[in-house]
Amino acid sequence: MIENRRGFDLFCHAVLILGVLLVVFPVYIAFCAATMSDAEVFSVPLSLVPSTHLFENIVNIWTHGSGNAAAPFGHMLLNSLVMALVISIGKISISMLSAYAIVFFRFPFKNLAFWLIFITLMLPVEVRIFPTVQVVSSMHLSNTYAGLTLPLIASATATFLFRQFFMTLPDELMEAARIDGAGALRFLWDVVLPLSKTNIAALFVITFIYGWNQYLWPILITSDQSLQTAVVGIKSMIASGDTATEWHLVMTATLLAMLPPLAVVLTMQRWFVRGLVDSEK
């Protein structure tokens, strides 16, 4: 801060506090609703003070599920976890390998490979959603973890980020490795990988959340209730048929579904912020 302007500072604090309140408000209400019984949650207006049924709601939704989502929510959380982990680990691995090959090697058809991979940046899954569903079911992968995760693993954003980063690595590094007699794989494992830690951390957060929050793809590729993921499950708890929505259970489920990605963001906040912002430059 350069000069001291009380009024302006107060204004800024006020703006920030307002921002935080708006950001936190829906989640606070969700928390209140999650602690209520079904009679309490339907009363208008909703009380702003939490009630006492949180634990029993958690147990209820974990083991029984609700509404259209017939599977127990605990199982859905597990599905989401598997999906998010497989996608993030898979994506980071193959993207790193591809980016490494593209940046550090000279080989015929390299440009073709480069463009084939980057063309996928132009085709988010929603644009080719129905044919992708048909391709996956013709491979008999619908209603499998493989079908849920594989098509989402190869998008080029991670490859792109790695490529940008690798291109900032000075030539001297590679020269030094050559002089030491290290081969390509050695160089990757001993030098490039450790240097990429921040990027990997940032990418892990991004891809984990990307995998956890998937919505359209799981809807189309799985119809088996046992494979339903948490985010999709919550939407289908909102009844559109003859039964009523159990909002207190729905809110409990949303809180549970928000926890893992939140934990990932908060614990890796430092690297995530640094890696994400640095690699954009």
Interface with other proteins in residues 206-245 (CB under 8 A): 209, 212-213, 215-216, 219-220, 223-225, 231-232, 234-236, 238-244
- The label of the residue with tokens 């559109």 reads 240
Whole-number Å distance between alpha carbons of 113 and 81: 32
Interface with other proteins in residues 16-55 (CB under 8 A): 16, 19-20, 22-24, 26-27, 29-30, 33, 41-46
Q: Minimum CB separation from other proteins for residue 60, in Å?
A: 13
Describe the crossing of helices 145-153 and 197-212 by its angle, rounded to 10 degrees: 130
Among 132, 196, 207, 252, the residue binding other proteins under the rule CB under 8 A is 132
Binding letters toward other proteins, positions 155-174, x by CB under 8 A: ----x----x--xx--x--x
7 part of the interface to other proteins, by CB under 8 A: no
Interface with other proteins in residues 49-108 (CB under 8 A): 66-68, 70, 94-95, 97-98, 100-102, 104-107
Q: If we measure between CA atoms, which residue out of 99, 115, 101, 56 comes closest to residue 249?
A: 56
179 part of the interface to other proteins, by CB under 8 A: no
Q: Site for other proteins (CB under 8 A): how many residues?
A: 122
**CA angle 236-239-241, nearest 5°?**
120
Among 77, 84, 86, 117, the residue binding other proteins under the rule CB under 8 A is 117
Q: Minimum CB separation from other proteins for residue 112, in Å?
A: 10
Q: Judged by CB, which is closer to other proteins: 78, or 123?
A: 123
Whole-number Å distance between alpha carbons of 51 and 29: 12
Omega before residue 45 within 30° of 0, cis = yes
Q: Minimum CB separation from other proteins for residue 13, in Å?
A: 6
CB contact at 8 A, 100 and 162: yes
Q: Judged by CB, which is closer to other proteins: 16, or 59?
A: 16
272 CB burial (10 A radius; 0-12, 13-18, 19+): buried
Interface with other proteins in residues 253-272 (CB under 8 A): 254, 257-258, 261-262, 264-266, 269
186 part of the interface to other proteins, by CB under 8 A: no
Q: If we measure between CA atoms, which residue out of 115, 156, 158 comes closest to residue 279?
A: 158
DSSP 235-247: HHHS--SSSPP-H
Whole-number Å distance between alpha carbons of 116 and 106: 17
Candidates 52-60, 81-89, 137-145, 192-200: pick the segment binding other proteins (CB under 8 A): 137-145
